[in-house]
Structure 1
Amino acid sequence: MQIKFSRVAAAVTAAVGTLLASVVAAPSASAATACSGYSSATTACVIESASIGGTSYDVTWYLPTGTASALMLVQHGFSRSCANQRGTSKAIAEKGVMVFCVDADMTGGNPALGATLGDTLAARALTPPSGKALPVNYVVGGHSAGGHFASEVGAQIAADGYGGLKGAILFDAVASSDFTANLQAISAGATRPVLQIAARPSVINLFNNSFGALADLGAGFVGIQLVWTGYLSGTPYGGSCHIDSEGENTDALGVAGALCSPSTTQTSRLRDFASAWAKDLATGTYTSSYYCADADVLTTCGTKALTVLGGTLPYAAVIPNS
């Protein structure tokens, strides 16, 4: 009787031990947490730890409720965080595109991490949370130094021969070494769109130092530069700010660094164009109202583009394509 009791006790103890071990040894499964204050009827936002090249990073994911058409990187800028791009990421995700961002040092666009992430994506070795499937199509994008990071990621995906790269969308990117070559690798002779929404020239965006690389792509249209918020009796007011993509998610550090505050009007315009472009790149469609066939000829611009580019008092300008 004592032997039987001992065996039963041992079995129970082993079972409890196994259960406790499984709970303690599963941090990855319990690591995903909901983004604070996030609200959307069609998407979810979660943060989890992910391994990229053997190093753990906090990754923020924006997950459409249905099957995502593509995965888009929306990378934060220098000294910023993924939370600063929340509203812009949400706008894109609500178009059916899965979005992610890596909280990491963006000094100089962090080319080493960019190449590693590019390899990881090309190998399809990044796993979305919540049981979501990794989309086949990829779009790379980012703000400021995060724009350069996106160029590194995209160029590496292209170098690895991955066929699902669909293009890039940048938010007032600040270029570092190899930016031109990176964009050319992504563009592949203007067969993949590379688009930007820029702010007016300033010290913080190095006076639009990304424009030269965009002009060298040989594409008919490479994006828009937001210039004025509006007009009052024919006189322009407001402007655009390097952190317009951050919008309501910016903070005192962002404002101090940019020497300006985002405008709700310009942030709304940026998110409208960015989300429309992202959906097009993800699905292979072309919503003509958001583009110009030839940036040098305004009559080739679609109706939505003309709302900011057209008329005698335009709110924006085309980014030079040559």
Structure 2
Amino acid sequence: MKNVRATIGAAAVAGATLLAGLVGISPAAQAADVACNTYSSTTSTCVNSQLVVDGESHSVDWYLPNGTASALMVLEHGFSRGCGNLRGTSKAIAQKGVMVLCVNGDLTAGNPELADALGDLLSARTITPPAGKPLPQRYIVGGHSAGGHFASELGARLVANGYGDLAGAVLFDPVASGDFTANLETISAGGTRPVLAVTARPSVTNLFNNSHGALIGLTNPYVGIQLVWEKYVLGMPVGGSCHIDVEGENTDIIGVAGALCSANTTQTARLRDFGSTWAKDLATGTKTSAYYCTDAAVVSTCGSKVKDLVDRSLPLAAPIR
């Protein structure tokens, strides 16, 4: 891992070059309005609508539990992607009783301006969910890739606005930009709020886990897990987890081309299991011990779900530490 960290600078340049080819592709071309097409669930519904944020109308997707939602999770898509690419993961969270909102937008560098504007609306509680559902009082911020930076900005904005019911953050292979470290520290509030992440193997696309430094630097004793890779080739981890595992069956050719790998069904299932359980715990103020470690550096303190992934040789997985 030391050699991997030493390549972060070069990887950042390579990653920027790789992603530059996707800049011209709008979120509308990336499953922006298709999340609710053929949506099927006995415990939740999906509704696409419009939401005006900072004077601009955005296509948004709502995932609404049948009963009263325990919290609202804003789950933001990645760069050049759309909310439809997160349909399966959003569904998994909604089926745990958590309302999900995703805003289709330009996520270049995490779009902190959009995050701040949305944070202001949420703080003022002027957003009305569809289908007559009430807006939950408790909020969770979340996101994938550049959407992870968006989530960090949104959470920090809610704190800055004095909103008292931010439960924490759940991130999926976030890619850090700008004030990511400071934002996570604000959300964490000295370890009093959970900040949790599922990350993939280091790759050019996630800038070799450039979010790990901020996560590890938090006071929180446990910040999540890094999913497995299968083997090493020329000293680099390959196979196993992929940057777009969170998209799973909802990814597309552009996602695969950008990530340089395909979503792994086993890893997608693991990611959704952890992410949805963490979201439910944050929403309800509970803690499903199987999904946490008391001390990330000591595997014996980890719950059974974590140990099942960590107590292996190859493929490798580990708590983020």
TM-score higher than 0.5 here?
yes
Counterparts of 2:86 and 2:282 in 1: how far apart (Å)?
Answer: 20
Counterparts of 1:127 and 1:54 in 2: how far apart (Å)?
Answer: 16
Count of residue pairs brought into register by the alignment: 284
1:13 is matched with which residue? none
1:15 is matched with which residue? none
Counterparts of 1:133 and 1:64 in 2: how far apart (Å)?
Answer: 11
Shift of the 208–33 alpha-carbon distance from structure 1 to 2, 3 Å rule, reads closer
1:319 is matched with which residue? 320
Shift of the 312–203 alpha-carbon distance from structure 1 to 2, 3 Å rule, reads closer
2:71 is matched with which residue? 70
Counterparts of 2:309 and 2:165 in 1: how far apart (Å)?
Answer: 32
Q: Which amino acid in structure 1 is aligned with residue 171 of structure 2?
A: L
Report the secondary structure of 1:117's partner residue.
Answer: helix
1:87-134 CA-partner distances (Å, limit 9, x unpaired): 000000000000010000000000111111111111111110000000
1:270 is matched with which residue? 271
1:198 is matched with which residue? 199
1:159 is matched with which residue? 160
Counterparts of 1:311 and 1:176 in 2: how far apart (Å)?
Answer: 33
Report the secondary structure of 2:278's partner residue.
Answer: helix
2:141 is matched with which residue? 140
Q: Which amino acid in structure 2 is aligned with residue 125 of structure 1?
A: T
Shift of the 112–34 alpha-carbon distance from structure 1 to 2, 3 Å rule, reads closer
Alignment of 1:169-318 (within 5 A): 169-228=170-229, 238-313=239-314, 315-318=316-319
1:256-277 CA-partner distances (Å, limit 9, x unpaired): 0000000000000000000100
Shift of the 111–200 alpha-carbon distance from structure 1 to 2, 3 Å rule, reads same
CA contact (8 A) 1:75 1:141 kept: yes
2:40 is matched with which residue? 39
CA contact (8 A) 2:230 2:314 kept: no
CA contact (8 A) 2:35 2:61 kept: no
Question: What runs of 5+ residues in structure 1 fail to find an aligned partner?
Answer: 1-31, 231-235
1:168-190 CA-partner distances (Å, limit 9, x unpaired): 00000000000001001111111
Which has more radius of gyration?
Answer: 1
Report the secondary structure of 1:154's partner residue.
Answer: helix
CA contact (8 A) 1:229 1:265 kept: no
CA contact (8 A) 2:83 2:104 kept: yes
1:34 is displaced (CA, Å) by: 8.4
1:268-289 CA-partner distances (Å, limit 9, x unpaired): 0000000100000000000111
Q: Which amino acid in structure 1 is aligned with residue 133 of structure 2?
A: K
Counterparts of 1:82 and 1:113 in 2: how far apart (Å)?
Answer: 15
Would you identify which runs of 4 or more consecutive aligned residues in structure 1 move more than 3 Å? 311-315
1:9-67 CA-partner distances (Å, limit 9, x unpaired): xxxxxxxxxxxxxxxxxxxxxxx998111000000001000111222111100000000
1:312 is displaced (CA, Å) by: 4.2
Report the secondary structure of 2:202's partner residue.
Answer: coil
Shift of the 262–153 alpha-carbon distance from structure 1 to 2, 3 Å rule, reads same
1:60 is matched with which residue? 61
1:97 is matched with which residue? 98
Question: What runs of 5+ residues in structure 2 fail to find an aligned partner?
Answer: 1-32, 232-236
1:313 is displaced (CA, Å) by: 4.7
CA contact (8 A) 2:72 2:99 kept: yes
Report the secondary structure of 1:58's partner residue.
Answer: strand
Report the secondary structure of 1:51's partner residue.
Answer: strand
**Structure with greater contact order relative to length (CA < 8 Å, sep ≥ 6):** 2
Q: Which amino acid in structure 2 is aligned with residue 40 of structure 1?
A: S
1:228 is displaced (CA, Å) by: 3.2
TM-score computed with the length of structure 1 as normaliser: 0.85
1:205 is displaced (CA, Å) by: 0.3
1:122 is matched with which residue? 123
Report the secondary structure of 2:69's partner residue.
Answer: coil
1:219 is displaced (CA, Å) by: 1.2
TM-score computed with the length of structure 2 as normaliser: 0.86
1:5 is matched with which residue? none
Counterparts of 2:264 and 2:177 in 1: how far apart (Å)?
Answer: 27
Report the secondary structure of 2:171's partner residue.
Answer: strand
